[in-house]
């Protein structure tokens, strides 16, 4: 059998171009996997480093109205007595607001000693709030090492995190009580570290691909928090029936869920190139097996068993996969750095992590795995009749399963991101399985194709050789469809985003002063510059039904409300809710929510793309009534020159920043484009692998058409006529690919806009059908087919004349 294996190896060496293209395709697939993993690790690292330090290791927060430290000790006594079996640890916490030095702070304190030792503790990247020091949110624009004077004492800033709280200040509980000037008995909530039933799967999925665990439910679905039984679960909120109210800790970190969703989407897209590469290796293996078929048959006659022959073939293919892994891993590291550079455009970003054994193992499994599985599936077909029937039991069952997966994944919101992506995968596989039947139907139509004889010949050749081009065509369909789907989603998103910017950025200039109060300046403008129009905006953070919500307030005249798609001025106790707030609180327009201890009626909803924290907008008067003193942090100004504005600012609000509308808009769009740079790069990578696959298929087709080409040469076919045949055939294949890719791409776009986006980020995107999103991938599909058809294959070239 050593000789057989040697024979296979020599066969690969004698078909160097086919072998090289297979190597290239699988290497690109592995490179994509490695690059996405490294980038995801980098993003996940940044995310962990920015986790609010007082929440490290916690899964839930328990609250009870009027609770004191005595209640915490009582709870701890019950826990230690074994009454709370699913709880791993309890942490007393306080929080409150102070104003110091003209700035507002949201102070949070947790018992550092109780946090110590919990699973996941210290994930705050070393920015933990140890006694005697504080950690601040990046939104406060305070640097690490600075000192803040609070509660009559100076506190060193031990770390800065971007926790999404904005004005957060984190400290040990004793220090927080001191800063808040609160009595020692004060208790705001109790942090709970619960046993996560998904912990093992979550950790396995994270090892597989950072962010992938975002597809799982957040933390334990149900938590036994009293000896009396299990808590009743409402979605992810666990409510203890006894006396404590439980909420998942993710309520405190809206940004974390957001970032995890991005990672998940990135990971799902990253596997696409690998899937296309699998198609490639399968198709190459089919070709190799077919070309080696006479040898295999001879060896079989000599007594070699199918198992032995298969083993040798797999060994040869897996060796190729191993080589591709090596090349792909190195290329993946370079690609990760390149993509990271593209997506950050030179801005400071977390460095791409070093290679780890985990990444190498994943690359090896990807490269060798797809090579071995693709080779095995191809070898299985050798010597066995291939069913061409459309209605085999297996095919019907597969179709039924795919349709069921799509229905469940799209229809049941509980299936989350995993359900949405499973629906996309099922739709893709269903469509790819239609390539064979489509080729057969097209073959029947091609018999009556119009045009000259050479054109007819070329058109028929595009449909005739299912075994040669079927798999590669499937891969091209997948790549083009993804390009269409992702393109539709990004373009639709951008149209909505631009519309939102056009509505919101109504003033010529925006003045921002996070630490200062601009209300005085508003008054000053009204007096000094009657021709200038200005509007002050304020915001504050509160909790509604346990979730952190940003409350925005301004003078909501009819014009201002119209910018949020609402037709009338807001009435007292009315609010406009962001789409993400409606989803988070599970409320609809017309219903009321409790904001600041009083009800606010949701009069309308608006899209707030890119807003991580759910928002509620209301009139200044309503906010003042519900939350006390107002705090204006932004000012929109029109009808004044920039220099005049800056002069005025220097007088009343030194330190305030000015942004011009056009620049703000351009900056927002730049960030938008950069956000999708990696997405576009990965789609392009998958398309490249598909081109390589189709090129390989075309090469096989040329070799199998050797006799026809010799015959045509004997009839005096010129090189130009031969190119005509190749081109028409390529366009025919491109047309078939596009015919299947367009509906699949539209379906993918619809699922991404209508299912994945709402589930991942809380907003839905109205799917538009911009010509560019369709035209570019369609052109790319045709171009891919043409490139694959006309690209030379020097080592195995056959001349026409």
Partner 1 sequence: MAAPALALDGVGKGFSDGRRYLPVLENFDLAVAPGEVVAVCGPSGSGKSTLLNLIAGLLAVDDGRLTLREGDMVHPMHGLAPAARAAVRRRLVGYVFQFFNLVPTLNVLENVRLPLALNRRDDLAPRALERLEALGLGDVLHAFPDTLSGGERQRVAIARAVAHEPAIVLADEPTGNLDPGNSDRVAGLLFSEVERLNCAMVIATHSEAIARRADRIVELDC
**Binding residues vs partner 1 (CB under 8 A):** 447, 452-454, 456-457, 460-461, 464, 707-708, 710-719, 721, 799, 801
Residues 6+ apart with CB under 8 A from 728: 454, 455, 458, 459, 462
> Cα–chain-centroid distance for residue 459?
40
| Cα gap 13→46, rounded to integer Å | 46
- Phi, psi at 110, each rounded to 5°: -135, 155
- In the complex, the smallest distance separating the C-beta of residue 717 from partner 1, rounded to whole angstroms, is 7
Cα dist from 473 to 40, 483, 695, whole Å: 31, 15, 10
- In the complex, the smallest distance separating the C-beta of residue 673 from partner 1, rounded to whole angstroms, is 46
- How many Cβ atoms from other residues are within 10 Å of residue 513's Cβ? 18
Roughly what angle, to the nearest 10 degrees, separates helices 771-790 and 719-751?
140
User: Which structure tokens are listed for 24?
Assistant: 């290239």
Q: Based on CB atoms, which residue is closest to partner 1, 111 or 461? A: 461
Q: CA angle at residue 401 from 397 to 406, to 5 degrees? A: 150
Q: Based on CB atoms, which residue is closest to partner 1, 449 or 652? A: 449
The most distant pair of C-alpha atoms in the chain lies apart, rounded to whole Å, by: 103
- In the complex, the smallest distance separating the C-beta of residue 747 from partner 1, rounded to whole angstroms, is 33
Roughly what angle, to the nearest 10 degrees, separates helices 2-14 and 306-344?
40
Cα dist from 313 to 75, 220, 306, 374, whole Å: 65, 47, 10, 11
Q: Based on CB atoms, which residue is closest to partner 1, 605 or 725? A: 725
- In the complex, the smallest distance separating the C-beta of residue 372 from partner 1, rounded to whole angstroms, is 34
User: Which structure tokens are listed for 773?
Assistant: 């999103």
Q: Based on CB atoms, which residue is closest to partner 1, 427 or 728? A: 728
- In the complex, the smallest distance separating the C-beta of residue 385 from partner 1, rounded to whole angstroms, is 16
The arrangement of strands across the sheet holding 598-606 comes to 592-595, 598-606, 574-578, 615-619, 547-554, 533-544, 632-638, 509-512, 657-660
Q: Based on CB atoms, which residue is closest to partner 1, 453 or 771? A: 453
The three-state secondary structure class of 125 is coil
| Cα gap 293→384, rounded to integer Å | 12
Cα dist from 130 to 114, 116, 172, whole Å: 12, 10, 6
Q: Based on CB atoms, which residue is closest to partner 1, 374 or 700? A: 700
| Cα gap 65→180, rounded to integer Å | 19
| Cα gap 134→158, rounded to integer Å | 6
| Cα gap 446→459, rounded to integer Å | 6
- In the complex, the smallest distance separating the C-beta of residue 711 from partner 1, rounded to whole angstroms, is 4
- In the complex, the smallest distance separating the C-beta of residue 465 from partner 1, rounded to whole angstroms, is 9
- Phi, psi at 92, each rounded to 5°: -75, 140
Cα dist from 132 to 170, 182, 561, whole Å: 11, 17, 46
Q: CA angle at residue 579 from 764 to 106, to 5 degrees? A: 130
| Cα gap 99→107, rounded to integer Å | 10
Sign, CA dihedral 478-480-483-484, equals negative
Of 428, 425, 495, 413, residue with least CA distance to 757: 413
Q: Based on CB atoms, which residue is closest to partner 1, 70 or 718? A: 718
Q: Based on CB atoms, which residue is closest to partner 1, 54 or 729? A: 729
Q: Based on CB atoms, which residue is closest to partner 1, 264 or 464? A: 464
- In the complex, the smallest distance separating the C-beta of residue 712 from partner 1, rounded to whole angstroms, is 7
- In the complex, the smallest distance separating the C-beta of residue 474 from partner 1, rounded to whole angstroms, is 21
Residue matched to tokens 């679960």: 233
What letters, b where the CB count within 10 A reaches 16 and e where it falls short, cover 297-319?
A: eebeeeeeeeeebbebbbbbbbb
- In the complex, the smallest distance separating the C-beta of residue 439 from partner 1, rounded to whole angstroms, is 13
| Cα gap 326→360, rounded to integer Å | 9
């Amino acid at each position: 059998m050593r000789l057989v294996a040697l024979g296979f190896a020599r066969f690969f060496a004698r078909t160097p171009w086919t072998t090289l293209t297979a190597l290239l395709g699988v290497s690109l697939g592995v490179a994509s996997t490695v690059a996405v993993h490294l980038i995801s690790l980098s993003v996940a690292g940044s995310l962990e480093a920015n986790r609010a330090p007082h929440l490290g290791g916690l899964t839930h927060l328990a609250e009870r109205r009027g609770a004191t430290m005595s209640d915490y000790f009582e709870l701890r006594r019950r826990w230690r007595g074994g009454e709370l079996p699913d709880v791993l640890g309890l942490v007393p916490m306080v929080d409150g607001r102070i104003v110091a030095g003209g700035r507002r702070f949201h102070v949070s304190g947790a018992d550092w000693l109780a946090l110590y030792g919990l699973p996941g503790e210290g994930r705050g990247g070393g920015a933990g709030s140890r006694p005697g020091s504080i950690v601040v949110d990046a939104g406060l624009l305070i640097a690490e090492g600075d000192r803040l004077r609070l509660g009559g004492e100076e506190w060193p800033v031990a770390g800065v995190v971007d926790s999404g709280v904005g004005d957060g200040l984190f400290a040990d509980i004793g220090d927080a009580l001191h800063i808040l000037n609160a009595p020692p008995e004060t208790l705001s909530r109790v942090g709970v570290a619960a046993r996560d039933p998904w912990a093992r799967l979550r950790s396995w999925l994270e090892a597989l691909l950072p962010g992938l665990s975002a597809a799982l439910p957040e933390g334990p679905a149900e938590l036994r928090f009293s000896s009396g039984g299990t808590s009743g679960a409402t979605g992810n909120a666990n409510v203890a029936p006894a006396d404590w109210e439980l909420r998942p800790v993710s309520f405190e970190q809206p940004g974390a869920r957001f970032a995890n969703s991005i990672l998940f989407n990135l990971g799902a897209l990253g596997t696409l190139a690998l899937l296309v590469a699998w198609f490639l290796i399968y198709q190459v293996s089919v070709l190799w097996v077919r070309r080696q078929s006479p040898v295999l048959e001879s060896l079989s006659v000599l007594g070699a068993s199918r198992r032995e022959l298969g083993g040798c073939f797999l060994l040869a293919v897996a060796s190729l996969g191993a080589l591709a892994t090596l090349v792909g891993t190195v290329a993946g590291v370079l690609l990760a750095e390149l993509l990271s550079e593209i997506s950050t455009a030179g801005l400071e970003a977390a460095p791409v992590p070093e290679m780890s054994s985990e990444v190498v193992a994943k690359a090896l499994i990807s490269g060798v795995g797809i090579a071995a599985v693709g080779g095995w599936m191809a070898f299985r077909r050798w010597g066995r009749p291939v069913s061409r029937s459309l209605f085999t039991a297996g095919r019907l069952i597969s179709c039924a399963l795919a349709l069921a997966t799509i229905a469940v994944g799209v229809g049941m919101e509980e299936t989350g991101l995993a359900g949405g992506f499973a629906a996309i995968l099922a739709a893709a596989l269903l469509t790819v399985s239609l390539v064979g039947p489509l080729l057969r139907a097209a073959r029947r139509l091609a018999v009556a194709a119009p045009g000259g004889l050479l054109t007819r010949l070329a058109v028929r050749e595009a449909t005739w050789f299912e075994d040669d081009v079927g798999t590669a065509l499937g891969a091209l369909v997948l790549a083009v469809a993804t390009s269409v789907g992702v393109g539709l989603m990004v373009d639709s998103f951008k149209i909505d985003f631009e519309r939102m910017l056009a509505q919101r950025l109504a003033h010529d200039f925006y003045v921002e002063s996070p630490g200062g109060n601009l209300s005085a300046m508003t008054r000053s403008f009204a007096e000094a510059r009657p021709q200038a129009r200005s509007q002050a905006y304020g915001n504050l953070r509160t909790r509604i039904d346990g979730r952190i919500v940003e409350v925005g307030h301004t003078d909501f005249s009819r014009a201002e409300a119209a910018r949020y798609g609402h037709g009338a001025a807001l009435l007292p106790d009315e609010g406009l809710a962001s789409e993400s707030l409606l989803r988070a609180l599970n409320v609809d327009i017309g219903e009321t929510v409790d904001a600041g201890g009083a009800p606010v009626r949701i009069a309308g909803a608006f899209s707030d793309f890119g807003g991580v924290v759910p928002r509620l907008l209301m009139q200044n008067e309503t906010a003042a009534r519900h939350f006390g003193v107002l705090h204006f942090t932004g000012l929109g100004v029109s009808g004044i020159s920039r220099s005049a504005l800056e002069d005025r600012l220097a007088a009343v609000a030194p330190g305030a920043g000015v942004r011009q509308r056009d620049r703000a808009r351009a900056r927002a769009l730049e960030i938008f484009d950069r956000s999708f740079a990696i997405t576009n790069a990965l789609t392009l990578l998958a398309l490249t692998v598909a081109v390589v696959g189709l090129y390989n298929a075309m090469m096989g087709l040329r070799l199998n058409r050797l006799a026809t080409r010799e015959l045509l040469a004997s009839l005096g076919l010129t090189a130009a006529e031969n190119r005509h045949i190749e081109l028409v055939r390529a366009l025919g294949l491109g047309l078939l690919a596009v015919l299947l890719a367009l509906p699949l791409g539209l379906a993918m776009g619809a699922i991404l806009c209508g299912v994945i986006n709402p589930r991942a980020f809380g907003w839905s995107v109205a799917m538009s059908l911009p010509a560019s999103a369709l035209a570019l991938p369609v052109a790319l599909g045709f171009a891919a087919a043409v490139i694959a058809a006309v690209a030379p294959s020097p080592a195995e070239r056959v001349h026409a004349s």
